[in-house]
Homo-oligomer: A and B are copies of this chain.
């Protein structure tokens, strides 16, 4: 478990003794596919590091509109705001397959941070990167069209959850048209139309909730199109 922790961004660069302490303080939590680790709006009491499976980070509006912010995989953390007082979880975390995570109570993690400033800097780095990522996508949303954003999205997913096959890169996630629509910020019809067109042109191949990326170069140029 310690080597596992050493590979995470939040515990990166810690000396073995500190890692051991962190490991001792952790609990383990498993959830079934489609179930939630945490719900948006709840008081943020604990921070998590995913160790098995993939999960969605998503938000819902009062009117039921859902937005899928991103997917996370093993080694990635969520709920870091738990180290701060008075924060609620800003989003919900839903397992897309059976998942397991390590859990730290917020106060415990805060203590670890006080004694090992490295963890604090790591947390800052993580939040700063999330910020940059969000800013980039915010920008995309303001300035780019649905086709470009969908192309970007598929490239990003292939990068972070893709496995190489003989034909191309297969995205290892159950990915419905609705999921894609919630990421890109459109509806399933527009996604469907674009995917059909790309499939005809041989850029991608889709098969029941799975996407196989054949021509990343083609999508890259679509994404860049002015």
Contacts and interface: CB of A to CB of B under 8 A. Distances in A.
A84 B122 CA distance: 9
Interface in A110-169: 110, 113-114, 117, 120-121, 123-125, 127-128, 130-132, 134-135, 137-139, 141-143
Contact of A67 (B123, B131, B138): B138
Contact of A117 (B61, B114, B130, B226): B114
Nearest to A81: B128
Contact of A120 (B65, B90, B113, B143): B113
Pick from A69, A138, A141 the residue with the most CB of B within 10 Å. Answer: A138
- Number of chain copies forming the complex: 2
Contacts of A67: 138-139, 142-143
A83 interface: yes
Nearest to A68: B142
A43 to B, nearest CB: 14
A143 B84 contact: no
Interface residues of A, number: 37
A124 B86 CA distance: 13
Contact of A141 (B87, B125, B135, B185): B185
A94 interface: no
A40 B12 CA distance: 28
A11 to B, nearest CB: 16
Interface in A61-81: 61, 63, 65, 67, 69, 80-81
12 contacts: A63-B143, A69-B138, A83-B124, A84-B124, A90-B131, A90-B132, A110-B121, A123-B124, A131-B131, A131-B134, A134-B134, A141-B185
Interface of A: 59, 61, 63, 65, 67, 69, 80-81, 83-84, 87, 90-91, 110, 113-114, 117, 120-121, 123-125, 127-128, 130-132, 134-135, 137-139, 141-143, 185, 226
